[in-house]
Chain A
């Protein structure tokens, strides 16, 4: 089985290459199915890995050594341990379903070739990211999915708003990527290796750099997973097609940060302060996302803020040391959020591109199946007790949060988030599907099979995955966390009675949230809006804040530099000096007929003129001058390296 491991990321990669290079030769109608087949082979390989024993023993394969320098051998190697197996299953499974969904959804689009190329490439990048056995390869996958995310958000790039959303996502995540890169450099400087197998036993020693590295990795994860304060890109990322939002911006790529922290968790355990920060950021983001989702009118933006908030739960679990529970919530969230996005996409599609929930409700375009699927997804998101997967995963995280330092406060925030979750998602559900007025658009007879099958499958999963892990103290099986125990430590739970009370409270929160949604929707229909409506709708005005804090000062600095330093100082200064000296020289020549003074001044003037010419000659288009500059730079670098710490 190990020898076939490359097929998991390899098959979508080959698919992407084939689509890019030979896509023009394939009949246009076959192209989507070809992309699906590439994703399907990957999913089948994962299934074969389950059967082939990956669930017991990690599978390994090293494809190629990039370069071998004195014991450092960064490889293109894959390790399929249990943690990776969970991720690979989610990514390839949901990825395959969304590819199938795309066949019908993107049916009428032009440029399907570009779409499927990036979808397959994304899948390959994501699978490389989770299978990588060293940080360098992980970073490669990390950047690859970032690129595909950028390209797919801006898929309709002719609309400047959508293109700008792509650029924004790319720029904001870049902050996190840079931090991650620095963390990788630091780890390499310290340990001389980037392989997980070697790195993490080493990392369990005492190392004071752990805090800095853990913090940098955290920033990387924050950027990719859209957590506070780098969350601003995700709501705008909804400019992409709905399947893209479902795959990249709900189920897989945004959870890469969670995977990264779970993978490097020994480092975080060395730095308890940073680990607590993870939890704190998690709970803040939960409340932030849920409160913003409450005020949105665009159905996809509600779901986007909901994703931000749900990933907050995963960060909370990571911060409390409940890594297996974070992964559990990741898996259930991938199912129900993909389901919500896909049913919302179907709805938007059949309503002719309408995103506003109020008008969607008036059009009433959804068929019964879509309504049912959305209801299942919404119930799972709101964590309706006992039936839904979301209940089992979220509930476990909440009890685990109680035992963390300052756990009461963390729990309180998270429970508030759970309450708000019920409110906002059922606000959408009620507004969109329960409209008393006569429907304007008759629901069409049947959904196309490629849309219906993924929806129903995901709905079934959203209901059933939760039974893998019953709540603490309930007597049901704990298949999930005991299976992951060999790699990720078990989460700590409070004592029996406290657990019971907390579980009852959080179940109550979910139901209360749903109950609160009814009066809220009635209020909104009556035309009243929420208090702080615009504050919440603009995402706590983060965009404006960042524009004021970073973007405007940057523009201002640049234009000030151009105006004052370049024009005002250098050019005007030199011009003025030259002219001044000319005038002075002329005056002196006339006034003082003294040869040496005159000559001296003329010399100065010529010198200044030449200086002016030399400065502006740096941009003269002459190749030789550029070569001189390059040589000077080389010399300076070499000299610095040779002579700097004197005698070093």
Chain B
């Protein structure tokens, strides 16, 4: 049987890889995919822990996670599309309306 530690480690690795995608890629769509990976890493930990204690709670948590990611994703995707339509923005670096006005020299 697989020890819980290993499943948790896989979940943690997935989470880290998702974080890496969010931090390193610039395309908005890739960012969202990174977020999905992060959520799924968390879901794996939840399910693994739930199974470890032989309860349904882990799965329930995973199902709630799915509902919440779905809600997040649809809104985010429509916003990506709107950003493309209005500002022709594909990368996050194109969306800098919140920047500090004085620091013109920053990248």
Contact = CB atoms under 8 A, between A and B. Distances in A.
A–B interface present (Cβ within 8 A): yes
Given A619-B99, A620-B107, A623-B92, 9 more contacts: A612-B105, A613-B106, A616-B103, A616-B106, A617-B103, A620-B103, A621-B95, A621-B96, A624-B26
Contacts of A628: 23
Contact of B93 (A613, A619, A622): A622
A623 B24 CA distance: 11
A622 B99 contact: yes
B97 interface: yes
A569 to B, nearest CB: 16
Contacts of A627: 22-23
A617 B92 CA distance: 15
Contacts of B107: 613, 617, 620, 622
A638 to B, nearest CB: 11
Contacts of B93: 622, 624
Contact of A623 (B95, B102, B105): B95
A631 interface: yes
A616 B97 CA distance: 16
Contacts of A631: 19, 23
Nearest to A616: B103
Interface in B53-107: 92-93, 95-100, 102-103, 105-107
B92 A613 contact: no
Contacts of A616: 100, 102-103, 105-106
Residue of A612, A622, A628 with most chain B CB atoms under a 10 A cut-off: A622
Contacts of B105: 612-613, 616
Interface of B: 19, 22-23, 26, 31, 92-93, 95-100, 102-103, 105-107
Contacts of B102: 616
Nearest to B100: A619
Contacts of A620: 96, 99-100, 103, 106-107
B25 to A, nearest CB: 9
Residue of B26, B96, B98, B103 with most chain A CB atoms under a 10 A cut-off: B103
**Binding site secondary structure of chain A:** helix
B77 to A, nearest CB: 16
Contact of A621 (B22, B26, B31, B98): B98
Contacts of A623: 31, 92, 95
Contacts of A617: 103, 106-107
23 contacts: A612-B105, A613-B103, A613-B105, A613-B107, A616-B100, A616-B103, A616-B106, A617-B103, A617-B107, A620-B103, A620-B106, A621-B96, A621-B98, A621-B99, A622-B93, A622-B96, A622-B99, A623-B31, A623-B92, A624-B92, A624-B93, A627-B22, A631-B19
A423 to B, nearest CB: 60
**Binding site secondary structure of chain B:** loop
Interface string A461-491: 0000000000000000000000000000000
Contacts of A613: 103, 105-107
A374 B92 CA distance: 68
Contact of B92 (A612, A619, A622): A622
A612 B19 CA distance: 28
Contacts of A612: 105
A621 B100 contact: yes
Given A616-B102, A616-B103, A621 B23 contact: no
10 pairs of A and B residues whose beta carbons are closest in the complex: A621-B99, A619-B100, A616-B103, A621-B96, A621-B98, A617-B106, A623-B92, A620-B106, A620-B99, A613-B106
A628 B31 CA distance: 13
A629 B40 CA distance: 22
B97 A624 contact: no
A627 B100 CA distance: 17
Residue of B22, B31, B95, B102 with most chain A CB atoms under a 10 A cut-off: B22
B23 to A, nearest CB: 6
Contacts of B22: 627
Nearest to B22: A627
A631 B15 CA distance: 12
Interface in A580-621: 612-613, 616-617, 619-621
Contacts of B96: 620-622
A617 B98 CA distance: 12
B102 to A, nearest CB: 7
A623 to B, nearest CB: 4
A259 B58 CA distance: 41
Contacts of B98: 621
Interface in A215-232: none
A621 B19 contact: no
Nearest to B24: A624
Contacts of A624: 23, 26, 92-93
Contacts of B31: 623
A274 to B, nearest CB: 42
A619 B97 CA distance: 11
A631 B105 CA distance: 25
